[in-house]
Structure 1
Amino acid sequence: MKVAVGQWPVKREWQHNAAQISEFMRSAEQQGAELLVLPEAVLARDNDQSHWVIEAAQPLDGPFVTQLLAVSQSLSITTILTLHVPAAEGKARNVLIVLQGGEIVLTYDKIHLYDAFTLRESDNVVAGKHLPPLVMVGEFTLGVMTCYDLRFPEMARALARQGADLLILPAAWLKGANKELHWELLTRARALENTCYLIAAGECGPKNIGHSMVVDPLGLVIAQAGERTQLLYSEIAKDHIDNVRQQLPVLANCRLSALPS
């Protein structure tokens, strides 16, 4: 299956971002991709006003998603992204959505909020409480995560144990000391330890690293973007997962659940 990963610097006005996403969706479909993965929090961003993502939040039936659903209805490609949705008490939910055929077929509220490296996402965002369900795209079973979820191996393992063979990660990975190293190390580890493909889309621009990538079930980076706007393509194969899991059956060999507590 051909997959696409898009990255760009998210702008303040949602209309600009909706237009960029729509362009990526049409371009990826024209190139034969069946899946498009986009970054985290792509509705609106102002790097000089950090609270803008909350003020600009829209419900899932708002104009931003409505415009994307209209594009999705005319295409066969599946598109995955996250946006901020209004919640109670002036906060928002960071919601991942999966678009197929003009419908939202899956939503996931980000569980692990980025309260790290001096920042506190939980000051503005309500944490999710439920592991996301799996979703099918072609012959692949997808498990979804969002950004900081990557640092919690239990989540990727839970999705793999439920049957995921392709892990999806929209992200806005902040720049900082060794952050590119963390990004590559963690994406490759999550793929290898679960013998899954992993597609990670990272926002690029002045605050975030970009470097979207596709990692194979042996932890090898098979496609990687740089730091600028880019639509990245890669081919993934179900039989490669099957072959890796025959040679390296870590999911089948794991005995922790059988040990006494």
Structure 2
Amino acid sequence: MRVALAQVVTGRDISANLDILEKFARKAKEGGAELVVFPEATMRAFGNSLVDIAEPLDGPWAARVRGVAGEIGIVIVAGMFTPGQSGGGSGDSPSKVRNTLLATGPGVEASYDKIHLFDAFGFAESDTVEAGTRAVTFELGGISFGLATCYDIRFPALFTANADRGAEANIVCASWGSGPGKVDQWRLLARARAVDTTTYVLACGQGDPATEGIETKGSAPTGVGHSAVVSPLGEVLAELDGGTGLLFADLDPAVVKDARTKLPVLANRHAF
């Protein structure tokens, strides 16, 4: 199966961000991809208000993504924000959102709420985001995909849980925070999670806003680029730089089977 990773830089305007999504989804389809992955916060970039734009999975933003996927004939995975469950200070308005991945397209409809919230490096995602509670996988073209978001990549148990549910590839959508050593950590973690679980890792991040001439302020994680596809034995098959771009890769379940024969880490585990 051919897949594509769309490394984009989104901003505050949710309509403009949808236009970016449609543009790259069409390019992915033209390149032969059956699945295109977009970053975390595709709906609206971090560093902007989130509660005021959060919508349910049957709301207009998700409906537009669903419509694009159906019209083009491709499965899209993209980061959005849905209303949290907790009530606000007045009325019934939510005080927090869920950081949600929507997976939608021909034969696929799934969503995942980010479990591990980015309370690190001077940023407190939990101030505005409510954590999810369950692992999610979906099937496409005979391949099972697990879902994860950004900071989740630092927690191997989620990736192992996805593999236990049958995942042969793990999708990680991110808006990775910049800083000394952070790109190296992103690369290291993507490769480690692949080897931990003998799965492909499709690590799709927001591009570096500076490549688009966009200035950012504060500690909000706005992306560093370096989206990559990693093999089940940890080889980086393809990687982008910091700028926007579209990366293609071909996934083969036989490669996963062979890796698990050579390196049966899932079968060799012991409980403690």
Same fold at TM > 0.5 = yes
Structure 1 residue 205 displacement after superposition = 2.6
Q: Tell me which of 77, 92, 113 is aligned to 2:117.
A: 113
State the identity %: 38
Q: Does 1:66 align with 2:81?
A: no
Q: Does 1:100 align with 2:105?
A: yes
Larger mean Cα displacement after TM superposition, 116-125 or 103-112: 103-112
Separation in structure 1 between the aligned mates of residue 205 and residue 52 of structure 2, nearest angstrom: 22
Contact residue 97 and residue 104 of structure 1 kept, 8 A: no
Letter in 2 for 1:151: R
Separation in structure 1 between the aligned mates of residue 18 and residue 103 of structure 2, nearest angstrom: 15
Aligned to 2:217: none
1:205-225: CA deviation from partner (whole Å, max 9, x where unpaired): 333101110000010100111
Deviation beyond 4 Å, 4+ runs, structure 1:
none
Q: Tell me which of 228, 236, 242 is aligned to 2:243.
A: 228
1:59-82: CA deviation from partner (whole Å, max 9, x where unpaired): 323322221111112233111111
Q: Which has the higher helix share?
A: 1
SS at match of 1:251: coil
Question: Between Structure 1 and Structure 2, how many residues are aligned?
Answer: 252
SS at match of 1:85: strand
SS at match of 1:189: helix
Q: Tell me which of 107, 119, 138 is aligned to 2:141.
A: 138
Aligned to 1:243: 258
Structure 2: segments with no counterpart, 5+ residues: 89-94, 210-221
Separation in structure 2 between the aligned mates of residue 29 and residue 12 of structure 1, nearest angstrom: 26
Aligned to 2:186: 183
Letter in 2 for 1:65: A
Aligned to 2:127: 123
Q: Tell me which of 60, 73, 78 is aligned to 2:75.
A: 78
Aligned to 2:174: 171
SS at match of 2:120: coil
Contact residue 51 and residue 96 of structure 2 kept, 8 A: yes
Aligned to 2:4: 4
Structure 1: segments with no counterpart, 5+ residues: none
Contact residue 146 and residue 167 of structure 2 kept, 8 A: yes
Aligned to 1:18: 18
1:167-201: CA deviation from partner (whole Å, max 9, x where unpaired): 00110001111000110000000001211000011
SS at match of 1:252: coil
SS at match of 1:250: coil
Aligned to 1:53: 50
TM-score, length of structure 1 as denominator length:
0.92
Contact residue 83 and residue 98 of structure 2 kept, 8 A: yes
Q: Tell me which of 195, 206, 228 is aligned to 1:213.
A: 228
Letter in 2 for 1:116: A
TM-score, length of structure 2 as denominator length:
0.88
